[in-house]
């Protein structure tokens, strides 16, 4: 009803009612935004759906760890891995809320990445207020680049989840530059701590903040509250780390967590490299990495332009306005963040192996932000001649093509290779049915190698917290302690089956069978591993080969009842 005068009313027509409550109130805009964003995220996530990709090794490790946590176990104490713990709890949340199968992992990735994309859109909205097409273009570039199949492979990588706190860190830092308040630096520190708990080397965005402010000669450094702000940022990070440390300490797992997440990765990477790698070799490996060339390479001119512009603006002696000072500080921060992210991504010097392409998910927020000034200039360019119009159109076509082409190519290739489709059944491990049919749910099954996804998919527990072989193979006292405990676990928990997956899991963990091991050495397998003779003796004493399926060797184990 609407008033037309004193004592008079008239009824709104259906069209007027619709215009009033839909177009004017605009309650539908947030819903439409999130629906569109979610649809795009689902689309770029299709190659990682369980019906299109087999579960990867890292994903198998994470989700098996999550399964143990949900069963009452504690990470590191009851189930070992060298990653920081939030990826395990994220996987546990997926299993808890969406079910104990592979689709739950896909759903949690979609939700996490959609939230990240929404926050990135919000950041661009503050940087480029009112330029809707540019904001959407930057968001789409981020969604396609950060979820590029070359980087994400089969999915469920810790780096993808760490994007969310990384973007929160950027937002908090920018809001602090706009309006210096304690809450923003506290949020910056806390988000950096959360990113660290997803992956140790995702904190470049936080580490670059102070150098950026120093180089840009920010007036914030002259404030009497500068030390207060720094203390709050540190307190935010330490509060997150402290809460996790308290949880682990209360459950007797803090020492194991420290050894697994700090000592073990360093020893393992040094052993993998086999030598001390100079910084320039690491830099060359990063710049020539197939992952970098395939994902960042085609758009590198945009990012290089933005990086040079950001450094020039940040180091400029004269800044005309407060707004320009804020943007200059933020631009320099992003430029330094990208350099740090690229350096931290390849600390292990394994960038040349496409299997470690997921390391380069981390620099993607900074990479896209660096590309934005070039996109803005291109969007604002008004050609006057036909040649200029053709060149502008060709440039846009190139950017769109190299950004989105990987998706249809990947999907078509997957459908040809797997014979599946995005709406099909999940692709299970080829040994899943065999293991479930030949064992009971109470039986423990040892997967010798790095294929913990078999323990998860078959719902058969590992007999040891060392459910894959990496913590056992690096020569040294730490590995020897792990080997001794591993053999004790085998004696106590007596696996019904042992599946030797080493021929599928790389050149680091030796096969159990001595003849297979000799052939494996000839083909390039590592000889310089820790002394695993106690493991070999256990298998020789209790187990015998009962089957060979593809490249997997299956052992059935029997035990003297008097010994038990």
Complete DSSP assignment for 498-512 = EEE-GGGS-SSSPPS
The count of other CB atoms within 10 Å of the CB of residue 254 is 17
Element at 554 (helix H, strand E) = strand 552-557
Mean pLDDT of 350-368: 90
Dist. CA 157–CA 112, nearest whole Å:
12
Sheet holding 445-448, edge to edge: 445-448, 497-500, 552-557, 543-549
**pLDDT band for position 347 (50/70/90)?**
confident
**pLDDT band for position 312 (50/70/90)?**
very high
Average pLDDT, the chain: 92
Mean pLDDT of 504-533: 94
Lowest mean pLDDT among 6-20, 44-58, 198-212: 6-20
Check residue 79 and report its DSSP letter: B
* Overall residue count recorded for the chain in this entry: 564
Mean pLDDT of 545-559: 95
Question: Exposed (0-12), middle (13-18) or buried (19+): which is 87, by Cβ within 10 Å?
Answer: buried
Residues whose CB is less than 8 angstroms from the CB of residue 19 and which lie 6 or more positions away in sequence, other chains included: none
Check residues 264 and 278 and name the one with the higher pLDDT: 264
**pLDDT band for position 5 (50/70/90)?**
very low
**pLDDT band for position 563 (50/70/90)?**
very low
Percent of the chain with pLDDT over 90: 79
Q: Are strands 543-549 and 497-500 parallel, antiparallel or unpaired?
A: unpaired
Mean pLDDT of 175-201: 96
Dist. CA 391–CA 396, nearest whole Å:
9
Dist. CA 469–CA 528, nearest whole Å:
14
Dist. CA 279–CA 282, nearest whole Å:
5
**pLDDT band for position 280 (50/70/90)?**
confident
Q: Report the first-to-last Cα separation within the chain, whole angstroms.
A: 84
Helices (H), 71-208: 86-98, 102-127, 132-146, 149-152, 158-178, 182-198, 204-207
Mean pLDDT of 138-163: 97
pLDDT at 564 over 50: no
* The pLDDT of residue 152: 96
Based on its alpha-carbon atoms, the radius of gyration of the chain, rounded to whole angstroms, reads: 27
Q: Locate the DSSP E strands across 346-454.
A: 445-448
pLDDT at 547 over 50: yes
* The pLDDT of residue 319: 73
**Contacts within 8 Å (CB) and 24+ apart, 500-503:** 500/448, 500/449, 500/552, 500/553, 500/554, 500/555, 501/447, 501/448, 501/449, 501/450, 501/451, 501/454, 501/552, 502/448, 502/449, 502/469, 503/551, 503/552
Question: How open is the CA angle 267-286-358, to the nearest 5 degrees?
Answer: 70
* The pLDDT of residue 62: 98
* The pLDDT of residue 562: 46
């Amino acid at each position: 009803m609407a008033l037309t005068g004193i004592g008079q009313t008239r009824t709104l027509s259906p069209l007027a009612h619709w215009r009033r409550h839909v177009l004017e109130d605009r309650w539908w805009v947030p819903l439409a935004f999130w629906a569109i964003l979610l649809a795009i995220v689902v689309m770029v996530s299709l190659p990682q759906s369980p019906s299109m990709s087999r579960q990867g090794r890292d994903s198998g490790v994470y989700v098996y760890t999550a399964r143990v946590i949900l069963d009452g176990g504690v990470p590191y104490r009851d189930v070992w891995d060298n990653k920081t713990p939030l990826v395990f709890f994220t996987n546990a949340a997926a299993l808890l809320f969406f079910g104990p199968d592979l689709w739950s992992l896909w759903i949690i990735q979609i939700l996490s990445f959609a939230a990240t994309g929404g926050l990135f859109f919000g950041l661009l909205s503050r940087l480029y207020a009112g330029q809707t097409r540019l904001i959407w273009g930057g968001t789409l570039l981020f969604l396609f680049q950060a979820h590029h199949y070359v980087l994400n492979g089969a999915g469920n990588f810790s780096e993808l989840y760490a994007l969310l706190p990384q973007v929160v860190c950027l937002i908090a830092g920018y809001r602090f530059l706009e309006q210096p308040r304690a809450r923003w630096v506290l949020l910056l520190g806390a988000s950096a701590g959360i990113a660290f708990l997803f992956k140790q080397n995702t904190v470049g965005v936080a580490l670059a903040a102070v150098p950026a402010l120093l180089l840009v000669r920010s007036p914030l450094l002259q404030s009497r509250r500068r030390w207060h702000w720094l203390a709050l940022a540190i307190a935010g990070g330490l509060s997150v780390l402290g809460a996790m440390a308290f949880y682990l300490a209360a459950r007797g797992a803090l020492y194991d967590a420290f050894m697994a997440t700090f000592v073990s990765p360093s020893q393992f990477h040094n052993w993998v490299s086999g030598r001390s790698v100079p910084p320039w070799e690491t830099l060359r490996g990063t710049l020539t990495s197939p992952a970098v060339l395939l994902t960042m390479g085609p758009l590198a001119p945009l990012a290089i332009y933005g990086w040079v512009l950001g450094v020039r603006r940040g180091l400029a002696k004269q800044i005309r306005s407060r707004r320009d000072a804020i943007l200059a500080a933020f631009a320099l921060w992003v430029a330094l963040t990208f350099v740090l992210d690229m350096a931290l991504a390849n600390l292990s010097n394994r960038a040349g192996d496409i299997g470690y392409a997921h390391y380069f998910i981390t620099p993607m927020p900074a990479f896209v932000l660096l590309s934005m000034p070039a996109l803005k200039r291109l969007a604002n360019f008004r050609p006057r001649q036909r040649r200029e119009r053709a060149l502008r159109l060709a440039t846009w076509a190139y950017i769109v093509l190299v950004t989105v082409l990987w998706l249809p190519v990947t999907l078509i290739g997957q459908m040809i290779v797997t014979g599946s489709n995005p709406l099909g059944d999940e692709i299970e491990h080829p040994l899943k049915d065999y293991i479930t049919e030949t064992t009971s749910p109470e039986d423990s099954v040892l997967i010798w190698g790095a294929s913990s996804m078999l323990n998860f998919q078959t719902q058969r527990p590992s007999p040891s917290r060392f459910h894959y072989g990496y913590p056992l193979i690096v020569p040294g006292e730490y590995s020897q302690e792990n080997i001794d405990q591993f053999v004790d676990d085998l004696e106590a928990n007596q696996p019904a089956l042992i599946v030797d997956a080493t021929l599928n899991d790389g050149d680091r963990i030796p096969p159990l069978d001595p003849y297979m091991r000799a052939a494996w050495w000839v083909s390039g397998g590592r000889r310089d591993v820790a002394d695993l003779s106690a493991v070999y003796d256990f298998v020789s004493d209790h187990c015998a080969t009962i089957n060979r399926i593809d490249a997997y060797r299956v052992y059935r184990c029997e035990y003297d009842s008097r010994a038990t």
